[in-house]
Amino acid sequence: MDLKINQQRFLICGASSGFGEAVARQLISEGAKVVLVARRGELLYKKFLNAEILEGSLTDSDTIDKIVRSVEMGEFHGILFNAGEPPTGTPLQTTIEDWDQAWPLVMSWKIDLALRIAPLLAKKGYGRMLFLESQTVKQPIPSLVLSNAFRAAVV
């Protein structure tokens, strides 16, 4: 398949496993240049030899700063917002602490990064942001109340 993205540059959040890793591999196979972000940098270094790697947690402001600097320094054609899941549980099985911990993991880093990157992409005149969320935005799952709530809010 030729997606016509040869030499285009993409940033992939949550790239060490799952959907993030799969997207990164497909982009590389199409000749794209990738900047990969994940907490588990050692996995990225083992799996991806020809990629720029930004190691760090997306919930950490230093990691968000690194991403923004990377976008400022080069042209990006697309950015994939992707990260792990919050803990499972039904509404009555969660605590306020669960909600407080899920907020930065699922939502606040995306708002922060999008607000900081959108003006840079607009200034450059091009770029796309794609948010990979969950099937729970269409059909909530009772045992995934935190994901149901925050991912629907992102969408």
Residues found in the chain: 155
Per-residue model confidence (pLDDT) at position 1: 74
What the block records as the tokens of 103 is 């907020």
pLDDT digits (tens, 9 = 90+) for 19-61: 999 999 999 999 999 999 999 989 999 999 889 999 999 999 9
Q: Long-range contacts for 92-99 (Cβ within 8 Å, ≥24 apart)? A: 93/145, 94/145, 94/146, 98/146, 99/146
**What is the pTM for the complete model shown?**
0.90
Would you say residue 98 lies in a domain? yes
Cβ neighbours of residue 146 under 8 Å, at least 6 residues apart? 86, 87, 88, 89, 94, 98, 99, 102, 106
CATH of residue 117's domain is 3.40.50.720
**Residue 46 in domain:** yes
CA atoms 6, 48, 35, 103: torsion sign? positive
Per-residue pLDDT 10s for the chain (155 aa) are 788 888 899 999 999 999 999 999 999 999 999 999 999 989 999 999 889 999 999 999 999 999 999 999 888 899 999 988 899 999 999 999 999 999 999 999 999 999 999 999 999 899 999 999 988 888 999 999 999 999 999 99
Whether residue 4 is contained in a domain is answered as no
- How many domains, the chain? 1
Residue 3 lies in a domain: no
User: What is the Cα–Cα distance from 38 to 20, expressed in whole angstroms?
Assistant: 9
The answer to whether residue 67 sits within a structural domain is: yes
pLDDT of residue 49: 86
pLDDT at residue number 75: 85
CA 43 to chain centre: 16
Secondary structure class of 36 (helix, strand, coil): strand
> According to the model, what pLDDT value does residue 74 have?
83
**What is the token pair recorded at 3?**
């997606």
Task: Give the range of the structural domain holding residue 48, as residue numbers without chain letter.
Answer: 9-154
